[in-house]
Amino acid sequence: MNDFWSGVGVDLHLEPDARAGRRAGLERALRDAVRDGRLAPGTRLPATRRLAAELGVSRGTAKAAYDQLVAEGYLTARQGSGTEVAALPTTSLDTSGNGARARAPRFDLRPGSPDVGTFPAAAWLRALRRAIAAAPSMAYEYGDPRGRIELRTALSGYLGRARGVIAPPERIVITSGYVQGLALLTRVLGSGVIAMEDPGLPFHRDVVRHNGGSVSPVSVDERGARAEELGDTAAVVVTPAHQYPTGVTLQPERRRALTDWARARGGLIVEDDYDGEFRYDRQPVGALQGMAPGQVVYLGTASKTLGPALRLGWMVLPPHLVDAVADAKLHSDHHTESIGQLALAELITSHAYDRHIRACRLRYRRRRDQLLDRLGVRRNVRGIAAGLHALVDVADEGAVLARAAEEGLAVGCLGEHWPRAREGRPQGLVVGYGTPRERVYPEALEVLGRVLGS
DSSP 45-103: PPPHHHHHHHHT--HHHHHHHHHHHHHHTSEEEETTTEEEE--PPP----SSSSSSPPP
| 309 close to 301: Cβ distance less than 8 angstroms | no
Tell me the pLDDT tens digit for each residue of 275-294.
Answer: 888 989 877 788 999 999 99
> Residue 12 — pLDDT band, cuts 50, 70, 90?
low
Task: Classify residue 38 by its DSSP letter.
Answer: S
The CATH number that domain 119-354 falls under is: 3.40.640.10
Q: Phi and psi for 373 in degrees, rounded to 5? A: -60, -35
User: For the chain, which residues make up each domain, given as ranges?
Assistant: 3-85, 107-117+360-452, 119-354
- Report the distance separating Cα 107 and Cα 435, nearest Å: 9
Average pLDDT in the chain: 88
- Report the distance separating Cα 232 and Cα 415, nearest Å: 28
Mean pLDDT of 204-216: 94
Tell me the pLDDT tens digit for each residue of 84-114.
Answer: 888 865 443 333 333 333 457 888 999 988 9
pLDDT at 89 (0 to 100): 57
Mean pLDDT of 182-198: 93
Show the CA angle centred on residue 98, arms to residues 93 and 102, nearest 5°. Answer: 55
CATH class of 3-85: mainly alpha
| 314 close to 175: Cβ distance less than 8 angstroms | yes
- Report the distance separating Cα 230 and Cα 218, nearest Å: 7
- Whether cis (ω within 30° of 0) applies to the bond prior to 419 is no
Mean pLDDT of 310-329: 97
Indicate the pTM of the whole model: 0.78
pLDDT at 210 (0 to 100): 95
Tell me the pLDDT tens digit for each residue of 412-441.
Answer: 999 888 876 666 678 899 999 998 888 889
pLDDT at 426 (0 to 100): 81
pLDDT at 20 (0 to 100): 67
The CATH number that domain 107-117+360-452 falls under is: 3.90.1150.10
Identify the three-state secondary structure at position 165. Answer: coil
Q: Is the pLDDT of residue 187 over 90?
A: yes
Tell me the pLDDT tens digit for each residue of 61-74.
Answer: 888 888 888 877 88
pLDDT at 284 (0 to 100): 78
Share of the chain above pLDDT 70, in %: 92
- Report the distance separating Cα 407 and Cα 223, nearest Å: 35
Other CB atoms within 10 Å distance of the CB of residue 446: 13
Q: Is the pLDDT of residue 4 over 60?
A: no
pLDDT at 431 (0 to 100): 94
| 47 close to 10: Cβ distance less than 8 angstroms | no
Tell me the pLDDT tens digit for each residue of 116-147.
Answer: 889 999 999 999 999 999 999 999 999 999 99
Share of the chain above pLDDT 90, in %: 61
The gap from C-alpha 249 to its chain's centroid, in whole angstroms, comes to: 23
- Strands annotated E in 228-312: 235-238, 268-272, 296-301
Q: Is the pLDDT of residue 392 over 80?
A: yes
- 33: nearest Cα among 85, 72, 82: 85
- Report the distance separating Cα 23 and Cα 45, nearest Å: 17
